[in-house]
Amino acid sequence: MTDRGADEAGDRLYFEAIEEIFIRLRGAPLLLSPADWRVASRWRGEGVPLDLVRRTLEEVFARRRERGARGRIQSLRYCAPAVDTAWAEVRELTAPGARAAAPPLDLAARLAALAAALPADLDERDRWAARIAALAGDPEAVEAVLVDLDRELLDSAASRLGEGDRERLAARAAVSLAAVAGRLPEAEVEVATRRLERRLLRRELRLPVLSLFSPEAEAGDRGEG
């Protein structure tokens, strides 16, 4: 994979992880918009950790519940100011001379947590878990390998679907996409359809996002893996 391809795949995994967090908290499916993608892309470019995004989104949803707010949050952009504020506070606290540097990433713990997050009924689960747990080296290089493994895992899962399951997932994607398709540029509809179908497949099979910075991996640093 070229450097550009790896960057684009890393962006996709970062966005998918945020999408999964947002949808879980929202409690209902939603196809995030291109504007939401730009918000997540900006966070990715600024180096905002997924764990910070997750914790902040949880706080936003918790505060709405405490206020008794009605309706559901319809856009990731609603949460953007809270994430931006939290990230600004972290950067201020970790500026030179303010605090010691953050501890190094615990690569082994994150990989072990990712391997443990694979569903028990996944075909060839032990083989996939062993491939993940065996990775070692520079985190950037490991992340690039995980990007490829994530794509391979989803492709393998898709290839094992029966025709009926494929049609059912495609129909669910079409229903979800119909609500927002009119707001998407024509050139983006096909891309959004593929992304939605893969997201539905991931959720259907309970597959974690294979990234060192996914919520499942970051659970390893908290001793939850």
Query: Mind giving me the DSSP string for 53-82?
Result: HHHHHHHHHHHHHHHT--S----GGGGHHH
**Is 108's pLDDT higher than 80?**
yes
Length of the chain: 225
Nearest Cα residue to 143 out of 26, 50, 21: 50
pLDDT category, 31, cuts 50, 70, 90? low
> How many domains does the chain fold into?
1
- What DSSP designation does 103 have? P
Token pair 């990433």: residue: 105
pLDDT tens, position by position, 80-103: 999 999 898 888 766 554 444 445
| Average pLDDT value for residue range 50-70 | 87
Report the percentage of the chain scoring pLDDT > 70: 80
pLDDT category, 20, cuts 50, 70, 90? confident
In one letter, which amino acid is 131? R
Q: Supply the pTM of this predicted model.
A: 0.62
pLDDT category, 195, cuts 50, 70, 90? confident
CA angle 41, 189, 5 (to 5 degrees): 45
Give residue 221's pLDDT.
Answer: 63
| More confident call, 66 vs 223 | 66
Copy the structure tokens of residue 38.
């730009």
Across the chain, mean pLDDT equals 81
pLDDT category, 194, cuts 50, 70, 90? confident
| Average pLDDT value for residue range 25-53 | 82
pLDDT tens, position by position, 168-179: 888 887 777 776
| 71 φψ region: left (φ > 0), alpha (ψ -120 to 50), beta (else) | left
pLDDT tens, position by position, 131-145: 999 999 888 889 889
Residue 13's domain comprises: 3-221
Give residue 99's pLDDT.
Answer: 43
**Is 187's pLDDT higher than 80?**
no
